[in-house]
Structure 1
């Protein structure tokens, strides 16, 4: 019985879920136009996934470009190692 009680206390309520979805909506540039209209949870989650993929691709692209620039620069071995360690964090 105590196991069931702890499970139910860990469940998220509909109000909490709706608040989280609304918060996610406000973080999306394409859905956050200063209005407080509700968008379906499905659309918000779909847009969040797409947005994260775009951000990840942008980070990958920028990392690759930075790496190419670092490779073409004449950095001392120690300096290059510091920069690479910082980038990996």
Structure 2
């Protein structure tokens, strides 16, 4: 975050802080290292890319969940318990 603190006590962010956060968000997206992180890329485009990436991740989770539900009936009880434990840890 920018070295400047929030200007008011009402938790508003300065424009510099928003820009810093958007650039940090862009750096978390896949292939961001190949892209030039600059102010030329609009914040709205970065936010759109982020939303698309999150949707993609949700779809992957759904697909993997479906595959797991198909495999679980053929797996022994100890393995099923282990998988449930691991999944519950991931959800925390």
Which TM-score band applies after superposition, normalised by the shorter structure?
Answer: 0.7 to 0.9
Question: Displaced runs of 4+ in structure 1, greater than 4 A?
Answer: none
Aligned: 1:20 with 2:25: no
Confirm or deny that 1:85 pairs with 2:88: no
Q: TM-score, normalised by structure 2?
A: 0.72
Counterpart of 1:6 (choices 9, 30, 45) is 9
Residue deviations 1:39-80 (CA, integer Å, cap 9, x gap): 10000000000000001110111122122212222x1x3542
Cα RMSD (Å): 2.0
Between the aligned partners of 1:86 and 1:62, the Cα distance in structure 2 is 14
**More helix by percentage:** 1
The equivalent residue for 1:29 is 30
Structure 2: tracts of 5 or more residues without a match = 1-7
* Structure 1: runs of 5 or more not aligned: none
Q: TM-score, normalised by structure 1?
A: 0.74
Q: How many residue pairs were aligned?
A: 81
Choose 1 or 2 for highest CA Rg: 1
